Amino acid sequence: MGNSKEKIPLQRIDPFLWRIPASYQEGMRVPGVVYADDELIQQILDDNALQQVANVATLPGIVGYSLGMPDIHWGYGFPVGGVAATDAETGVVSPGGIGFDINCGVRLMATELVRDQIRGQVEKLADALFKALPSGVGGAGMRELTTHEMRDVMVQGAAWAVEDGYGFEEDLEVTEEHGCLAGADPDKVSPMAMQRGRKQLGSLGSGNHFAEVQYVEHIYDQAAAEAMGIGQVGQIVVTIHCGSRGFGHQIAEDYIKLAEVKQAGYGFKLVDRQLACLPLQSDEGKAYLAAMACGANFAWANRQLLMHGVRLAFSSVFGRKARAKEMPLVYDVCHNIAKIEEYEVDGQKRWVCVHRKGATRAFPPQHPALPERYRSIGQPVLIPGDMGRYSFVLAGAQGSMEQSFGSCCHGAGRRQSRTAAKKSISPRDLLDQLAARGVTIRVHSKSLLTEEAPTAYKDAQKIVDVVHNAGLAQLVVRLKPVIVVKG
């Protein structure tokens, strides 16, 4: 039960798909399903994350399957790399199924520059980026907000930032949800969360968050790459990975506590207290979704400010070859969120609350939520790897609608804990290793950097190959790191 280490009875469905039968554990309402190849499934078994997939399958109102992506690993209650859909009428929302960093996500910008044009300017660009992008644990951001402005950010998201001079209307068209989740209500957010958030807009934070200058190293799908404006081998692009900082974290903490307090009254039988949840149709469930939307909107505004900082840094080094208009946003995705969406489940259309925790939306071609520009190729799916190897861009595919509630993986996935990673390599050795690979780095804390060593992560190539082969998303390009800026 719960957190035991007993052997999970995995059934192999095909080379990339495994199933945990609902008979495995008392209370499972649906089977578990995990995407992995032979090597990844071994890593996943070692981590015990499959027990969490089985635990999530007991959630009240869960439909279809409890899903695990190939980058799955142990998390708070729910695994990171997990997807769960609950019936919108009779089901629950669980804050642990969204994660502490509400709307942690990724945005990718293109440039008109190629590798040869930045040679000799790399150190200068790295300094400019590090200066332009505030970072570090608890670090303040580019823009301190008044309480009134903070409320506007919570409701308007990325559009607030554009209106305040950080970017363009065009940026919003290629941001998931146009950078604003509906239903945000600042009155459902605690004063403590507001206080933490007011100082942090436009900051990278720490942990696995970063800004990275990369080049297009390999193109899998030329037509899709061109549609995204990243169709030239050697082309320079920039990835930003960040979320809602202390603001979203405080919202998550507040509502996890509320859910724990309320749990006894609901009478659910939960196999793990970290699955604490709120009925979607209860006042508390609605309040969480309204507060979560505030966190999500703050994160979109945050990435919009950070992107502005990147554009300023590039233009300070390259002048008119890297003006803001010459650095278009390709797309912005979130990978820690819950969304109300409609899917066909067991032959019936149903509205469900899709929990994506370390999972990226991957809508296929022709989906009405996609901007015109991406209608024929599918939604850009941005998958950062680790800082030493590579990252990937994919396009959402039809299989995601049929199999995974419009979702796929979100990154490389940890294979080592933070403490294990720290023990395995010294800051000096890691910096030497990255230099040897031609990666220039600027980092706020060298001791925290080792927690993010490439060896702490699974091989992202193997992860994306699985979702590609399973038909959830199609590979478009592979990116190699040039400059990494981190907390």
Partner DNA sequence: ATGTAC
The residues of the shown chain that bind DNA, judged by CB under 7 A, are 100-101, 104, 137-138, 192, 195-196, 200, 205-209, 243, 245-246, 249-250, 418, 445, 448, 452, 487
Q: Is 335 annotated as contributing to ligand binding?
A: yes
Nearest distance from C-beta of residue 17 to DNA, angstroms:
26
In terms of residues, how long is the chain? Answer: 487
Nearest distance from C-beta of residue 138 to DNA, angstroms:
4
> Which runs of consecutive H residues, i.e. helices, occur in 267-365?
283-318
Q: What is the Cα–Cα distance from 394 to 409, expressed in whole angstroms?
A: 11
Contact of 309 with 142, CB cutoff 8 Å: yes
Q: Is 224 annotated as contributing to ligand binding?
A: no
Q: What is the Cα–Cα distance from 93 to 281, expressed in whole angstroms?
A: 10
Q: Which is nearer to DNA, 206 or 440 (CB)?
A: 206
Q: Which is nearer to DNA, 192 or 345 (CB)?
A: 192
**Phi/psi at 193 (5° precision):** -60, -45
Instruction: Please tell me the number of Cα atoms within 13 Å of 422 on its side-chain side.
Output: 9
Contact of 463 with 413, CB cutoff 8 Å: yes
Q: Which is nearer to DNA, 399 or 487 (CB)?
A: 487
Nearest distance from C-beta of residue 76 to DNA, angstroms:
7
Q: Which is nearer to DNA, 71 or 221 (CB)?
A: 71
Q: Is 386 annotated as contributing to ligand binding?
A: yes
Annotated active-site residue in 73, 178, 410, 444: 410
38 is written with which tokens? Answer: 């032979």
Q: What is the Cα–Cα distance from 61 to 148, expressed in whole angstroms?
A: 38
Nearest distance from C-beta of residue 157 to DNA, angstroms:
17
Nearest distance from C-beta of residue 318 to DNA, angstroms:
29
Which distant-in-sequence residues (6+ apart) come within 8 Å of 467 by Cβ? Answer: 35, 69, 70, 362, 394, 408, 409, 473
Q: Which is nearer to DNA, 206 or 400 (CB)?
A: 206
Q: Is 404 annotated as contributing to ligand binding?
A: no
Q: What is the Cα–Cα distance from 355 to 278, expressed in whole angstroms?
A: 13
Nearest distance from C-beta of residue 235 to DNA, angstroms:
26
Cα–Cα distances in Å, from 229 out to 214, 265, 418?
14, 53, 36
Strands 62-73, 32-35: pairing kind: parallel
377 is written with which tokens? Answer: 């190729």
Distance between first and last Cα of the chain: 39
Q: Count Cβ atoms below 10 Å from residue 58 Cβ, excluding itself.
A: 22
Q: Is 387 annotated as contributing to ligand binding?
A: yes
Q: Which is nearer to DNA, 58 or 297 (CB)?
A: 297
Q: What is the Cα–Cα distance from 144 to 146, expressed in whole angstroms?
A: 7
Q: Is 212 annotated as contributing to ligand binding?
A: yes
| Active site annotation includes 410 | yes
What positions carry a catalytic annotation?
410
Binding-site sequence positions? 101, 208-212, 241, 335-336, 384-387, 391, 410-413, 486
Query: Binding site for GMP: which residues?
Result: 208-212, 335-336, 384-387, 391, 410-413, 486
Residue list, annotated binding site for Mn(2+): 101, 209, 241, 335
